[in-house]
Amino acid sequence: MALPQRKQDATDARLAAVTLPDGPAWLTKARKAALARVSAMGLPARRDEYWKFSDPTTLTDTAVISADLADASDREFAGADALMAVFVDGAFDADASDDLEAAGVTITRLAQAQDITWAGDLLGTLEARGQSPVERPLAALTTAMATDGLLIHVTGDAARAVHVRYDRKDAGADVALHHVVKLDAGATFTLLESGAGAARFMSNMEVDVADGATFHHVRAQGRDTGRRMNTHTFTRIGTGSTFKSFTLSINGALTRNDCIMDIVGDDATAHVAGACVGDGEGFHHDDTVFITHDAVGCESRQVFKKVLRNGAVGVFQGKILVKHGAQKTDGYQISQSLLLDGDSQFLAKPELEIYADDVACSHGSTSGAIDEDALFYLRSRGVPHKTATTLLTLSFLAEALQEIDDESLGDDLRDRLAGWLDRHQS
Amino acid sequence: MLEIKGLKVDLEDEDKSILKGVDLTVPAGEVHAIMGPNGSGKSTMSYVLSGKDGYTVTGGTATLNGVDLLAMEPEERAAAGLFLAFQYPVEIPGVGNMTFLRTAVNAQRKARGEEELSAGDFLKEVRAKAKDLKIDAEMLKRPVNVGFSGGEKKRNEILQMAMLEPKMCILDETDSGLDVDAMKLVADGVNALRSEGRSFLVITHYQRLLDHIKPDVVHIMSNGRIIKSGGPELALEVENNGYADLLAEDA
Ligand SMILES: Nc1ncnc2c1ncn2[C@@H]1O[C@H](COP(=O)(O)OP(=O)(O)OP(=O)(O)O)[C@@H](O)[C@H]1O
Ligand SMILES: [Mg+2]
């Protein structure tokens, strides 16, 4: 089917500027296939159903808008015991990184990948699967363009987490990375990510969670006000396995986090959660989630909380699709915003599509202000307005932060939120 | 201590006057009680004194030890020594009782230029005071007032008062919802705090509380004004005869 002319032109212009990175034959093949997917779908435009609330122009344009570098002295998860992998403007920094060898985990860089059979089978596969029923052309573009990333194979119980840190040096960097994580049956692994990565940062992560495996993902997206970021997480979740992902977003001009979860094995657990705080009209944050239940007795959970002020915009698009035969599905979805003033906006599109008859799915979306009675009660006890607002805002965010299993990681992020809230009050 | 002169208050959103010239003085060290029919303006007065939004002061003054209360933010009034035990304590999901109390105690200390209480000292003090009020440790761990029974909420108000050691304590129907034993506990808590430098204004509908907390003066509020003041016997008169005679006298 031919694309609308405008979309065709925009796509042609963008693809003309793309040069595929060098790599082994299998990788080049995967990249070319991804590029073909982009050509066929065309790049996203405001008219597309899942881009109505967010303008993709600055993600699709050939040119990149530069973004000031935030102070990077106080880093997230600094206290965590994790193997460090550092990328600076998308380029791997071996000096700043640990030796990428850890117990129970094999890590290879995409940029150095030769013949890795498991990665060859997986890379681009989950992304391609995730193109239906909703097209995600930016994910395919990222698969094609990604210059580096980590190919992580977890064969057992990984004793240490891996922390991928995205640093910035160049205010105008345009970066695409692609990670693949494969957990063998019964394996466990925790992946941490932090930092803004680039002025424009595109990243894919494909996670294959085999039967009985457990994957934890905790991410803090950098505080750089002007950064633009589009992440895609594609996961396939096997029988009796667990996938849990949490994202904290502080600041950023545009953040679009897509999470596509495919539950294919019975009795599996899939959780995705996020907290974001934004101040000003220049802040736009979009969580787009698509969960497919294609197995019996699985539980999925989406918890998203957004704190917005001074004209900040938050978006949530979350869909639960329960296929024929996916009985005993337990799907929960909540998306809430706390608007600290009348100028901010929260746009939510919760969707349920259910083809099985024995399921329990619930979803709720709310938008509200600080509870004035609670605020007065706290102040009447001597708690200053600012502190009281921070306390109440943190209590609003608590349900999302509770999704992080590791308490010290959760505390780290809570402290950052408290600091941000104190700084961003008049 | 507390001096209210000709205080007139309207609702902000409606063209409705609630307080129509309240005159009331509570000297240091004294306990005064306010009684009065439902809707006469007792809670409104305590809210206005604590700085709640939604009211417009159209006349009069209110001072605490000579300082203009009405010009201050609610938290400044608290730091200056004012405390209101709410008629309806507010539930705050997600904020732990202990976090709340410690934040409040230390914020007040900081505002007064005093040293903050260490975590250890704070804990010791809360535990001791909670024990006196028969508030169990589990309750302290819960979010502020969430899932508390009516009586537990009232006891929690008194615990806050005991921790904050205010100078001027306003108790708005703290006795309502309390069982007989709890009322005695609360009264004991109040009596333990009675001192030369501390005053109480106790709003109540019932004589029973005043058996335990002996007031120096009893005021009757009706239709936004204090219509009569007298000794403890005034409370007995209300208990026995209701307000009809007093209202008729005023008219
Ligand atoms: N926010 C408000 N909106 C509308 N009416 C109000 C508001 N606040 C107070 N009022 C009215 O003001 C009057 C006084 O109320 P207030 O709560 O002060 O009475 P009270 O003396 O404390 O009564 P009670 O003994 O029942 O507690 C009542 O008629 C009440 O309905
Ligand atoms: Mg009242």
Query: Per the CB < 8 Å rule, is A387 touching B107?
Result: yes
Query: For every one of its 426 residues, what pLDDT tens digit does chain A have, with 9 covering 90 and above?
Result: 689 999 999 999 999 999 999 999 999 999 999 999 999 999 999 999 999 999 999 999 999 999 999 888 889 999 999 999 999 999 999 999 999 877 779 999 999 998 887 898 999 999 999 999 999 999 999 999 999 999 999 999 998 999 999 999 999 999 999 999 999 999 999 999 999 999 999 999 999 999 999 999 999 998 999 999 999 999 999 999 999 999 999 999 999 999 999 999 999 999 999 999 999 999 999 999 999 999 999 999 999 999 999 999 999 999 999 999 999 999 999 999 999 988 999 999 999 999 999 999 999 999 999 999 999 999 999 999 999 999 999 999 999 999 999 999 999 999 999 999 999 986
Distance in angstroms (rounded) separating the CA atoms of residues A381 and A361: 41
Mind listing the pLDDT tens digit for each residue in B73-93? Answer: 999 999 999 999 999 999 998
Distance in angstroms (rounded) separating the CA atoms of residues B42 and A284: 47
A90 within some domain: yes
Mind listing the pLDDT tens digit for each residue in A212-244? Answer: 999 999 999 989 999 999 999 999 999 999 999
* Confidence at residue A57, expressed as pLDDT on a 0 to 100 scale: 96
Classify residue A212 by its DSSP letter.
T
Q: Which of B13, B34, B38, B225 to mutate to test the pocket of ligand 1 (most atoms within 8 A of CB)?
A: B38
Nearest CA to A233 out of A268, A251, A206, A263 is that of: A206
B177, pLDDT greater than 90: no
Q: Is A307 on the interface with B (CB under 8 A)?
A: no
Q: How many domains does chain A have?
A: 1
Distances (CA, A) of B6 to A205, B57, B74, B225: 69, 11, 21, 9
- Encoded tokens for B211: 């058996």
Contacts A398 to B, Cβ<8 Å: 94
Nearest CA to A252 out of A315, A341, A334, A339 is that of: A315
Strand partners, A166: A87
* Confidence at residue A72, expressed as pLDDT on a 0 to 100 scale: 82
Distance in angstroms (rounded) separating the CA atoms of residues A276 and A247: 8
Cα of B42 vs centre of ligand 1, distance in Å, is 8
Nearest CA to A219 out of A244, A252, A253, A188 is that of: A244
Domain containing residue A24: 5-371
The answer to whether the CB of A197 falls within 8 A of the CB of A90 is yes
| Omega before residue A133 within 30° of 0, cis | yes
Q: Report phi then psi at B166, rounded to 5.
A: -75, 170
**CA A6, A8, A11 angle in degrees (round to 5)?**
110
A5 class by beta-carbon count within 10 Å (0-12 exposed, 13-18 middle, 19+ buried): exposed
Residue of B nearest to A376 (CA): B52
Q: Is A78 on the interface with B (CB under 8 A)?
A: no
Q: Residue A402 is inside which H or E element, if any?
A: none
Q: A375 to chain B, minimum CA–CA distance in Å?
A: 9
Cα of A63 vs centre of ligand 2, distance in Å, is 64
Q: B43 to chain A, minimum CA–CA distance in Å?
A: 14
Which residues lie closer than 8 Å to B212 by C-beta, 6 or more apart?
A: B183, B184, B187, B188, B191
- Of B92, B93, B107, nearest to A382 by CB-CB distance is B107
A366 within some domain: yes
Q: Ligand 1: residues whose CB is within 6 Å? A: B 11, 18, 36, 38-44, 54, 87
Strand B31-35 and strand B17-26: the pairing is: unpaired
The answer to whether the CB of A226 falls within 8 A of the CB of A66 is yes
A130 class by beta-carbon count within 10 Å (0-12 exposed, 13-18 middle, 19+ buried): buried
Q: What is the pTM of this model?
A: 0.91
* Confidence at residue B245, expressed as pLDDT on a 0 to 100 scale: 82
Domain positions in chain B are 2-250
Mean pLDDT of B153-159: 92
Distance in angstroms (rounded) separating the CA atoms of residues B171 and B157: 9
The answer to whether the CB of B246 falls within 8 A of the CB of B228 is yes
Mean pLDDT of B61-72: 96
Q: Is A387 on the interface with B (CB under 8 A)?
A: yes
Mean pLDDT of B40-65: 96
Strand A329-339 and strand A359-368: the pairing is: parallel
Q: What is the CATH number of domain B2-250?
A: 3.40.50.300
A342 within some domain: yes
Distance in angstroms (rounded) separating the CA atoms of residues B139 and B94: 14
Strand partners, B171: B85, B202
- Of A379, A391, A399, nearest to B95 by CB-CB distance is A391
Q: What is the amino acid identity at position A254? A: L
Ligand showing the shortest atom-to-Cα distance for residue B45 = 1
Residue of B nearest to A390 (CA): B95
Alpha helical stretches, state H, chain B: 42-50, 74-79, 97-111, 119-132, 137-141, 150-164, 180-193, 207-212, 233-241, 244-250
Ligand showing the shortest atom-to-Cα distance for residue B15 = 1
Residue of A nearest to B110 (CA): A382
Q: A128 to chain B, minimum CA–CA distance in Å?
A: 41
- Of B78, B90, B164, nearest to A373 by CB-CB distance is B90
Q: Is A297 helix (H, G, I), strand (E, B) or coil?
A: coil
A381 within some domain: no
Q: Using 50, 70 and 90 to split pLDDT, how confident is the model at B178?
A: confident
Q: B225 to chain A, minimum CA–CA distance in Å?
A: 24
The answer to whether the CB of A376 falls within 8 A of the CB of B74 is yes
What is the dihedral sign for C-alpha A114, A28, A97, A127?
negative
Mean pLDDT of B45-68: 96
A197 within some domain: yes
Q: Residue B10 is inside which H or E element, if any?
A: strand B2-11
Q: A401 to chain B, minimum CA–CA distance in Å?
A: 12
Cα of A380 vs centre of ligand 1, distance in Å, is 19
Query: Per the CB < 8 Å rule, is B53 touching A396?
Result: no
Q: Is A385 on the interface with B (CB under 8 A)?
A: yes
Residue environment code for A160-178, b if the CB has 16+ CB neighbours within 10 A, otherwise e: bbbbbbbbbeebebbbbbb
A306 within some domain: yes
Strand A105-109 and strand A101-102: the pairing is: antiparallel
Q: Is A391 on the interface with B (CB under 8 A)?
A: yes
* Confidence at residue A325, expressed as pLDDT on a 0 to 100 scale: 95
Interface with B, mutate which of A377, A392, A396 (most B CBs under 10 A): A377
Interface with A, mutate which of B48, B90, B116, B159 (most A CBs under 10 A): B90
Residue of B nearest to A384 (CA): B75
Distances (CA, A) of B193 to B28, B162, B163, B183, B189: 13, 7, 11, 15, 7
Distance in angstroms (rounded) separating the CA atoms of residues A96 and A81: 15
Q: Which of B40, B45, B170 to mutate to test the pocket of ligand 1 (most atoms within 8 A of CB)?
A: B40
The answer to whether the CB of B41 falls within 8 A of the CB of B17 is no
Distance in angstroms (rounded) separating the CA atoms of residues A179 and A175: 13
Q: Is A31 helix (H, G, I), strand (E, B) or coil?
A: helix
Tell me which residues of chain B have a C-beta less than 8 Å from any C-beta of chain A: 50-53, 73-75, 77-79, 83-84, 86, 89-95, 99-100, 103-105, 107-108, 111, 143-144, 160, 164
* Confidence at residue B107, expressed as pLDDT on a 0 to 100 scale: 93
Q: B17 to chain A, minimum CA–CA distance in Å?
A: 22
> Longest Cα pair distance anywhere in chain A, in angstroms?
69
Q: What is the DSSP string of B16-63?
A: -EEEEEEEEEE-TT-EEEEE--TTSSHHHHHHHHHT-SSEEEEEEEEE
Q: Report phi then psi at A190, rounded to 5.
A: -120, 130
Distance in angstroms (rounded) separating the CA atoms of residues A69 and A224: 6
Q: Is B94 helix (H, G, I), strand (E, B) or coil?
A: strand
Mind listing the pLDDT tens digit for each residue in A238-270? Answer: 999 999 999 999 999 999 999 999 999 999 999
Q: Is A370 on the interface with B (CB under 8 A)?
A: no
Query: Per the CB < 8 Å rule, is B164 touching A382?
Result: yes
Distance in angstroms (rounded) separating the CA atoms of residues B200 and B172: 11
